[in-house]
Structures are given as C-alpha cells and as structure tokens.
C-alpha cells in the first residue's frame, strides 16, 4: 500500500473574518478543516507570513500523521512578547478547539523552524480529554507524536528525533517512590513517562503485527470515533478503540502494566535493540539491530514509506 504523500496535503490561505480577539483572523484550510489565526494586537509586518508558514508546517505534519487534521475548526490565538521564540502553549477543547500561544515579536524563520510547540499543541487536538489521573497520556502523546510527525513531514531528521528521545526519556523513568503513571503526577513522569508509554506501545504494536501496524493506526481510529479534545472519554474507551483497530490489545495491556506500578525500562537495551547509538556526541544508526526496521518505519518521511 502506498500511504499518502507529504505533498498531497495542501494547506491554503483563504480570507479574513472577525476573530475571537475581536480582530481580523486569517483563515487557512487543510482538507475540510479550518484554522483561524488571530493576533491579540497588531504584530510587526514580517510576523504575519512567518506565523502563517509555521502554522501551515505544523498542520501539515499533524495531518500526515493522523491522515486528517484532527478537528473541523480551531482558533489559534497569538499573544506577543518582546524577544524571540514561542512560549506558554495551551490547547483547550471547551466550546470549540483553541490553541493559545505567545510569540516573540523579533522571531525569525529559524526560530519557527526549530519550534516544537505548535505541533505539540495540535497533537493535543487529536485525543479526547481524560480524567486528571491520566494527564500523562495527553502530554505523553504530544511529546512523542510531535517529533515523529515532523520527521514524517520531512521537517526533522531521524537522527534529531532519536537523539532527543535518548536525551529526554530517562527523565520519564520511575524514581524510588513511584506508584505508576496514574499515581505519580510529576513533570518527568507526565511528559516523558507518557512518551515512554507511547514509544513502548509503538514498538510492541509493530512487533506483534510484523511492522504492519503502529501507534498511528490506533490513534487514527480514536480520532475517527470522534475522540478529539472537544470530548471527554474514559481513558479505557480510547485504548480499547485503538486496540480494536490494530487487532492486538497492546494499549490496554501496557496500561494495566504501567498505571499503578513503576515498570522500569532498560533504555540502554532498548536503544541497542533499535540500533540507536551516540558516538562522540553524534547519533548513529545500526541497521543490523533486531528492531532497526521498526525504528526506520517510525521516523521515515512519508515519501519513503511505501510498503
Ligand atoms: Zn502539552
């Protein structure tokens, strides 16, 4: 099967309309979804185009991963600060989807190219709101899917993605007092512990299906069943829908294992299995490692993913 090609995802800029900030909003269309971009105050002239391209690139990556933009309509509300870069992203599904994010007035093309925050926030759109105890799945998905989606869109190299996972995932390992993901709401366990759950699920899904199904197949099914941030679901419902779609109960089983006990993971062994090595500060891949094909499938750009 040939999966959708990156270039087949078209994002078009349309017209202006009144926005939530009471100012004009620019509207982008991606498939049948509408994205409204609204500034709280008039930004410097150069920022309009940079922000538009940034939102487009993020929407493009998320659409490649999920095979559709997650919600029919989202309002992106931009605040401005003096300086460069992005800050304080927050996504909300109450009374329609919105993403609030602050943008530095002096930001340049490279600041937006390096930014992960907009894609992270858009990934939040693609999963139902769950009880506070499961906040780790919301942040874990956003932390894990964001770089994978950008790699598939060709915006990040696999070396960058695996290097960042190698650096970040140790922060998600259980400490001595750990009581499992549902009962240890620390920053590390919420963001990186959740991301570890996602990576382990992705690998196990590919192991059990001969690399034919991955985490994205489960997540696309959740989305197809209406599981966006605009709804509230029990976590078990989302996991069951994902498992039904892939034909293997990987998500439910992994949740049972990790929800109330520490479940330590030997990350060094995992990198060895995947064929990811760090030598003299550079990431190198070993294609004869047992899970090398799994690693390649997870971060290959879509134009290469013909199978
Ligand atoms: Zn988040």
Instruction: Report mean pLDDT in 10-residue bins for the chain, 307 residues.
Output: 45 60 81 95 92 96 97 97 96 95 96 96 98 98 98 96 98 97 98 98 97 97 98 98 98 98 97 97 97 96 54
CA distance 37 to 226: 24
CA of 298 to the centre of ligand 1 (A): 21
Query: Using an 8 Å Cβ cutoff, are 137 and 286 in contact?
Result: no
From the CA of 233, how far away is ligand 1's center (Å)?
Answer: 18
CA distance 285 to 133: 37
Interval between CA 118 and ligand 1 midpoint (Å): 10
Q: How far is the CA of 15 from the centre of ligand 1 (A)?
A: 29
Q: Which residue has the tokens 């190219």?
A: 113
Whole-angstrom distance, CA of residue 284 vs CA of residue 271? 11
Regarding beta strands 11-18 and 33-39, do their DSSP bridges make them parallel or antiparallel, or are they unpaired?
unpaired
Which residues neighbour 277 within 8 Å (Cβ) at sequence distance 6 or greater? 271, 283, 284, 285, 286
Please list all protein residues whose beta carbon sits less than 5 angstroms from ligand 1, which is an ion.
Answer: 139, 142
For residue 280, CA distances in Å to 166, 270, 283 come to 14, 20, 8
Distance CA 132, CA 130 (A): 7
pLDDT number for residue 144: 98
Task: Give which of 169, 184, 178, 188 is closest to 265, Cα–Cα.
Answer: 169
CA separation, residue 257 to residues 154, 174, 197, 254, 265 (Å) = 34, 13, 10, 5, 12
Residue 307 Cα, ligand 1 centroid: separation in angstroms?
Answer: 32
Nearest to 217 by CA among 207, 208, 205: 205
Neighbours of 287 (CB within 10 A): 9
CB 173 within 8 A of CB 179: no
Query: What count of residues does the chain have?
Result: 307
Per-residue CA distances from 92 to 25, 51, 76, 104, 164 (Å): 18, 20, 10, 22, 27
The per-residue pLDDT for 1 is 37
Q: How far is ligand 1, taken at its centre, from the CA of residue 70, in Å?
A: 15
The answer to whether the beta carbons of residues 298 and 290 sit under 8 Å apart is no
C-alpha 121 to ligand 1 mean position (Å):
6
Please say whether the dihedral angle defined by the alpha carbons of residues 255, 139, 6 and 305, taken in this order, is positive or negative. Answer: negative
Q: Are 118 and 107 in contact (CB under 8 A)?
A: no
Q: 211 CA distance to ligand 1 centroid (A)? A: 28
* Vertex 203 angle, CA 200 and 209, to 5°: 135
- Output the pTM of the full model: 0.93
pLDDT at 18: 59
Please tell me the predicted confidence (pLDDT) of residue 306.
Answer: 37
How many A from CA of 73 to the centre of ligand 1?
19
279 Cα to the center of ligand 1, angstroms: 31
Distance 65 CA to ligand 1 centre (A): 17
DSSP β-bridge partners for residue 81: 104
- The Å distance, Cα 198 to ligand 1 centre, comes to 14
Q: How far is the CA of 116 from the centre of ligand 1 (A)?
A: 11
Ligand 1 center to residue 286 CA distance, Å?
A: 32
From the CA of 191, how far away is ligand 1's center (Å)? 8
The two three-digit tokens of residue 116, written as one number: 């992960």
């Amino acid at each position: 099967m040939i999966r959708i090609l990156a270039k087949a995802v078209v994002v078009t800029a349309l017209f202006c309309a009144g926005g939530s900030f009471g100012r004009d909003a620019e509207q982008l269309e991606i498939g049948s979804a509408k994205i409204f971009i609204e500034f709280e105050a008039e930004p410097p002239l150069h920022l309009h185009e940079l922000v538009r391209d940034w939102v487009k690139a993020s929407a493009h990556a998320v659409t490649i991963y999920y095979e559709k933009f997650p919600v029919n309509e989202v309002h992106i509300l931009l605040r401005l600060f003096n300086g460069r870069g992005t800050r304080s992203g927050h996504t909300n599904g109450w009374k329609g989807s919105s993403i609030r994010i602050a943008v530095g007035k002096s930001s340049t093309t490279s600041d937006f190219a390096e930014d992960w925050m907009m894609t992270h926030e858009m990934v939040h759109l693609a999963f139902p709101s769950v009880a506070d105890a499961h906040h780790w799945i919301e942040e874990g998905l956003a932390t894990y899917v964001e770089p994978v989606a950008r790699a598939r869109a060709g915006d990040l190299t696999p070396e960058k993605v695996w290097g960042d996972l190698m650096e970040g995932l140790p922060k998600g390992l259980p400490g001595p007092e750990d009581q499992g993901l549902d009962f240890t709401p620390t920053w590390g366990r919420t963001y990186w512990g959740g991301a570890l759950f996602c990576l382990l699920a992705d690998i196990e899904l590919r192991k059990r299906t001969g690399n034919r199904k991955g985490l994205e197949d489960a997540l696309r099914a959740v989305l197809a069943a209406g599981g966006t941030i605009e709804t509230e679901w029990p976590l078990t419902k989302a996991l069951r829908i994902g498992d039904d779609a892939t034909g293997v109960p990987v998500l439910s089983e992994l949740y049972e294992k990790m929800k109330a006990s520490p479940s330590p993971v030997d990350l060094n062994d995992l990198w060895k299995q995947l064929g990811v090595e760090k030598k003299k500060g550079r990431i190198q891949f070993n294609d004869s490692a047992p899970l090398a094909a799994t690693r390649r499938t997870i971060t290959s750009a879509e134009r290469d993913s013909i199978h």
